[in-house]
Amino acid sequence: MLLLPSRDRQGAVCCCYRAATARERFSLRPHRRFYLSLEDDLLKQRAARTREIEALGYRPYGQRFDATHAVPDILREYGAKTAEELAARVDVRIAGRVMTIRHMGKAGFAHVQQNGEKLQIYVRKDAVPERDFALFKMLDLGDIVGVDGYLFRTRTGELSVHVEKLEFLSKTLLSIPEKWHGLEDVEIRYRQRYLDLIANPAVRDVFVRRARIISSLRRQLESRGFIEVETPMMQPLYGGAAARPFVTHHNTLDVDLYLRIAPELYLKRLVVGGLERVYEINRNFRNEGLSTHHNPEFTMLEFYQAYTDYRGLMDFSAELLRQAALDANGTTVAEFEEHKIDFASVRRLSMREAVVEFWTGADKPSIDNVADPEWLLRHSSKATAGEALTDLFERHGEEKLIQPTIIYDYPVETSPLSKNKPGDPAFVERFEIYAGGMELGNAYTELNDPQEQRRRFEMQIGMRQRGDQEAHQMDEDYVRALSYGMPPTGGEGIGIDRLTMILTNSRSIRDVILFPLLRPEGPIDLVQSLRELDGEK
């Protein structure tokens, strides 16, 4: 009886978590058919109306409709034209979803929405075939129609289509959200994103801008000779990041596989093979908590460029971000929460400098302090000086990095795949990009010495044996690939979701992912209602 989620979760427990029998499930919901809820009522009305539409000779689920314009095109092209300018008749043929209807006896107005924008149509009895006016009178909010007519301005000045022919293209059986407040229930917005997109044009805009960001990055990489590749998402060994994986199973091979936590090790194998500039934009999966900044599947751009190093990537990253901001928003300045974040330039600080600069509280350290292992270990509970420095940076610096900032030179302990800094073996040539208080990207000069890589993996295995579940595993094939010689290479990953958050002023990562991960919803009960309607025909 309830077609929308957000209530009656008990059934969900029953069917999803306890494997109840059909009889148990039925007995839990004994009242279901004794009530005639409003929504069942609406469903019945609309099913009946579907048959009436058919009786008038229209197909309730329509057919091809070749429009002359999309609604946004008309608004752009004719939005500024006066009534006099429109007097020279402009014929249009448009399609869209009916969002409002105002009937006035022998005439009426409606707004038709397409691609997130609305255009008013005016239907009067003496201007359309009799059958079309009968159809107009039985339209429901949410139906999809096509119209032929000409543009005019109403007495109140709104650009509208004076309809001469009405076509029916698709029936809605369920009610669309209310016109004034739209859809605000966050849970329904995420679960039924299609309703969110219909009701909230700003949501559509976020995803349009997300697409522009991705195509901007692709265009920039392609223009510099990078080629796009796809590497395995199901991997027998997972690696390239510190994270816990999702596990799955292949039946025929009878092997467990991991959903990748990063594509890194495969992309570098390709660099070994001579694909000197490669990139991949796709999903990573990490079996960890959810938050406003974390979704278990998220989109990363990773790219590798042979014969450069992390310094080269710093310059390139700054340009990539600047241009992506420009392509998404037409300006390098992004309004994010209460900040104006300017991607025109990117500040650079070493991690040690950042700890000093952003230190909160008394006894601010000196650069010499943060380079002193003993001092570091006194100020953190971590086991090694390197981990202590990272810990202090995360506690003091990270959230203050609002403007785009590169933090460089990381301790070796947390970076098993990066090349050492010459003359400072405790550090590696690595940087991360921060903006809006979030980590956006991570890059380094790739470690290409197979002996050193073997030692790093062994160090990680030691950490794993001491209980670090996220420490890297030994990947012997990767060491073998490096043993054939990988050119000196710089590699980088950029979190597309987070970049999109900043460039679309979205507080939560769920607002930039079309279908963020949620717990499965309870019974929907629509199929049963539809089955009953089918029987009543």
Partner RNA sequence: GGGCCGGUAGCUCAGUAGGUAGAGCAUGUGCCUUUUAAGCACAGGGUCGCGGGUUCGAGUCCCGCCCGGCUCACCA
Name which of residues 492 to 511 contact RNA (CB under 7 A).
495, 497-498, 507-510
Region label for 216, one of left (φ > 0), alpha (ψ between -120 and 50) or beta (otherwise):
alpha
Task: Using DSSP, state whether 146 is helix, strand or coil.
Answer: strand
Neighbours of 55 (CB within 10 A): 9
Instruction: Give the up-direction half-sphere exposure of residue 478: CA atoms within 13 A in the CB hemisphere.
Output: 27
In the bound state with RNA, the residue whose beta carbon lies nearer, of 69 and 191, is 191
Torsion of CA 14, 20, 25, 27, to 10 degrees: -110
Name residues contacting RNA, limited to 213-272 (CB under 7 A). Answer: 241-243
Name residues contacting RNA, limited to 75-114 (CB under 7 A). Answer: 100-107, 109
Q: Does 380 bind RNA (CB under 7 A)?
A: no
In the bound state with RNA, the residue whose beta carbon lies nearer, of 272 and 447, is 447
Report the alpha-carbon distance of residue 516 to residue 512 in Å, rounded.
Answer: 9
Amino acid letter at 393? Answer: F
Q: Which of 24, 77, 130, 158 binds RNA (CB under 7 A)?
A: 158
Q: Which of 56, 134, 141, 197 binds RNA (CB under 7 A)?
A: 141
Task: Using DSSP, state whether 507 is helix, strand or coil.
Answer: coil
Name residues contacting RNA, limited to 307-346 (CB under 7 A). Answer: none
Report the alpha-carbon distance of residue 148 to residue 165 in Å, rounded.
Answer: 5
Binding-residue total with RNA (CB under 7 A): 92
Q: Does 157 bind RNA (CB under 7 A)?
A: yes
CB of 364 to RNA, least distance (A): 21
Q: Which of 247, 383, 518, 530 binds RNA (CB under 7 A)?
A: 518
Q: Which of 183, 221, 271, 301 binds RNA (CB under 7 A)?
A: 183
Residue whose token pair is 């073996």: 425
Name residues contacting RNA, limited to 441-480 (CB under 7 A). Answer: 442, 470
Report the alpha-carbon distance of residue 176 to residue 195 in Å, rounded.
Answer: 7
Name residues contacting RNA, limited to 294-313 (CB under 7 A). Answer: 294-296, 298
Q: Which of 23, 64, 519, 531 binds RNA (CB under 7 A)?
A: 519
Q: Does 180 bind RNA (CB under 7 A)?
A: yes
Report the alpha-carbon distance of residue 294 to residue 155 in Å, rounded.
Answer: 51
Q: Does 528 bind RNA (CB under 7 A)?
A: no
CB of 130 to RNA, least distance (A): 11
CB of 381 to RNA, least distance (A): 10
**Which residue stretch of 25-33, 220-228, 366-374, 402-410 sits at the interface with RNA (rule: CB under 7 A)?**
25-33
* CA gyration radius, the chain: 29
Binding string, residues 403-432; x marks residues near RNA by CB under 7 A: -----------------------------x
CB of 383 to RNA, least distance (A): 13
Q: Which of 25, 93, 125, 382 binds RNA (CB under 7 A)?
A: 125
Q: Does 530 bind RNA (CB under 7 A)?
A: no
In the bound state with RNA, the residue whose beta carbon lies nearer, of 38 and 211, is 38
**Which residue stretch of 205-213, 339-347, 363-371, 514-522 sits at the interface with RNA (rule: CB under 7 A)?**
514-522
In the bound state with RNA, the residue whose beta carbon lies nearer, of 165 and 480, is 165
CB of 288 to RNA, least distance (A): 5
Q: Does 177 bind RNA (CB under 7 A)?
A: yes
Q: Does 196 bind RNA (CB under 7 A)?
A: no
Distance, first Cα to last Cα, the chain: 19
Sign, CA dihedral 101-104-106-108, equals negative
Q: Does 209 bind RNA (CB under 7 A)?
A: no
Beta-bridge mates of residue 134: none
Ranges of H-type helices in 166-280? 186-191, 193-199, 201-223, 264-272
Query: Would you say how long the chain is, in residues?
Result: 537
In the bound state with RNA, the residue whose beta carbon lies nearer, of 87 and 227, is 87
Report the alpha-carbon distance of residue 97 to residue 169 in Å, rounded.
Answer: 9
Q: Is 172 exposed, middle or buried (0-12, 13-18, 19+ CB in 10 A)?
A: middle
Name residues contacting RNA, limited to 269-288 (CB under 7 A). Answer: 286, 288
Task: Using DSSP, state whether 274 is helix, strand or coil.
Answer: coil
Name residues contacting RNA, limited to 31-50 (CB under 7 A). Answer: 31-32, 35-39, 41-42, 45
In the bound state with RNA, the residue whose beta carbon lies nearer, of 3 and 75, is 3
Tokens of 474: 């030994």
In the bound state with RNA, the residue whose beta carbon lies nearer, of 153 and 212, is 153
C-beta separation of 351 from 385 below 8 A: no
Helix axes 351-358, 385-396, angle to 10 degrees: 50
**Which residue stretch of 272-280, 362-370, 402-410, 512-520 sits at the interface with RNA (rule: CB under 7 A)?**
512-520
Report the alpha-carbon distance of residue 481 to residue 73 in Å, rounded.
Answer: 53
Neighbours of 283 (CB within 10 A): 15
